[in-house]
Amino acid sequence: MRRVRYESTGGPLFLEEVPVPAPGPGELLVRCEAIGVTLPVVRKVTEAAEPVPLGGELAGEVVSVGAGVTRFLPGERVTGLCFGHGYADFALLREPMASPVPDGASAVDAVALVRSGLVALGALEAARPGRGEAALVTAAASGVGHLAVQLARARGASRVVGAVSGPAKAKFVRSLGADSTALYGEGSWGDPVDYVLDAVGGELLTPALAALAPGGRLVAYSSGGGTIRAYDLLVGAKSVTGFQMARIARERPELYERWRRELWRMFLDGTLRPVVHGEFALEDAARAHEVIESRSNLGKVVLRP
């Protein structure tokens, strides 16, 4: 089978031929039909001290199962998070990280919806949104952000603002239901909001916090770092909450599963519309990474083996 790998930090991605892996206890061997490309994985290639497997979200057909697997059979369609080599024709999924893909949904739908949707929904839950409150989403055109915009609206936000880096993204975000958009670098992001879902971090934390009304809440779920002054929280009685999806998956599996079911329900009834920016062949993984690195994507970037 083919697999994408790299040999040094920041080094080029390349295809190699390797044997198809055998599932161990509690694992599924999946024939990959779609693989999601995410910023955290792209950052590993450019920042990790040594090469790591290119894992992440994938969807496809179960080929075989390891000892102890009880929830899935060969021939069933699943999606899930791969912690090993996921940029490949075949990949291994741990059974607890896999979930079925319902009839009426494609593999591309699954990778565009489930993992990104779980992060978006979890961040929204962490904000404790009240019906009629105003919301602001940063990186609103990203794979997670474009779903967060729709979820905030579905949860009863009276006004949804999408913060983006350029006019093309602003038009895209408004097409998803945002009432208005704000561009990074602008002096003001408009009227204050009750909560902010921030996927960018870094220098953007300061204007994101400034966009909050007194008593507002900022949920930070970015790996981009950044610093907030305690005084800026104190003066407006504002709060910041960090959100990490891995912690929910590890410590609250029942909540993780409930959120997955809710996402599929909203997808199947038309409430939630995942958008795919582009589909790339496995041998074009480097081009897919370039799209993510340049922050030019409108929605999800997907590899199709």
Mean pLDDT calculated for residue range 182-186: 91
- Clarify whether residues 17 and 59 are in a common domain: yes
- Clarify whether residues 170 and 74 are in a common domain: no
- Clarify whether residues 140 and 21 are in a common domain: no
Tens digits of residue pLDDT in 110-138: 999 999 999 999 999 999 999 999 999 99
- Clarify whether residues 235 and 138 are in a common domain: yes
The whole-chain average pLDDT of the chain stands at 94
**Structure token digits, residue 248:** 């929910």
pTM, full prediction? 0.91
* 3 state SS of 110: helix
**Structure token digits, residue 235:** 């003066």
- Clarify whether residues 133 and 69 are in a common domain: no
- Clarify whether residues 123 and 239 are in a common domain: yes
- Clarify whether residues 209 and 146 are in a common domain: yes
Instruction: Give the CA-trace dihedral at 166, 168, 170, 173, to 10 degrees.
Output: -130
* Residue 206 confidence (pLDDT): 93
Domain that holds residue 286: 2-101+275-304
- Clarify whether residues 168 and 143 are in a common domain: yes
Residues with Cβ < 8 Å from 301, sequence gap 6 or more? Answer: 36, 37, 143, 276, 277, 278, 280, 288, 291, 292
Mean pLDDT calculated for residue range 262-288: 96
- Clarify whether residues 8 and 76 are in a common domain: yes
Say which residue the tokens 């607890």 belong to: 96
What's the CATH code of the domain at 11? Answer: 3.90.180.10
Tens digits of residue pLDDT in 79-95: 999 999 999 999 999 99
Dihedrals phi, psi of 240, to nearest 5 degrees: -130, 135
Say which residue the tokens 């992001």 belong to: 189
* Residue 121 confidence (pLDDT): 97
**Structure token digits, residue 228:** 């907030």
The H or E element containing residue 100 is strand 98-100
* Residue 225 confidence (pLDDT): 81
pLDDT over 80 (residue 224) = no
- Clarify whether residues 153 and 222 are in a common domain: yes
Residue 257 forms part of a structural domain? no
How far apart CA 236 and CA 210 sit, in angstroms, is 9
pLDDT over 80 (residue 223) = no
pLDDT tier at 188, thresholds 50, 70, 90: confident
- Clarify whether residues 221 and 195 are in a common domain: yes
- Clarify whether residues 83 and 137 are in a common domain: no
Residue 259 forms part of a structural domain? no
- Which residues pair with residue 106 across a beta bridge? none
pLDDT tier at 255, thresholds 50, 70, 90: very high
pLDDT over 80 (residue 205) = yes
* Residue 222 confidence (pLDDT): 85
Residues with Cβ < 8 Å from 37, sequence gap 6 or more? Answer: 56, 280, 285, 288, 289, 291, 292, 300, 301, 302, 303
Amino acid at the residue 183: L
How far apart CA 204 and CA 281 sit, in angstroms, is 33
Q: Which of 116, 53, 106 is nearest to 77 (CA)?
A: 106
Domain count along the chain: 2
**Strand boundaries in 150-198, DSSP class E:** 159-164, 180-183, 193-198
Backbone dihedral region of 166: left (phi > 0), alpha (psi from -120 to 50 degrees) or beta? beta
How far apart CA 259 and CA 265 sit, in angstroms, is 10
Tens digits of residue pLDDT in 40-73: 899 899 988 899 999 999 999 999 999 999 999 9
Dihedrals phi, psi of 149, to nearest 5 degrees: -60, -45
- On the CB side of 37, how many CA atoms lie within 13 Å of its CA? 31
Residue 57 forms part of a structural domain? yes
* Residue 249 confidence (pLDDT): 84
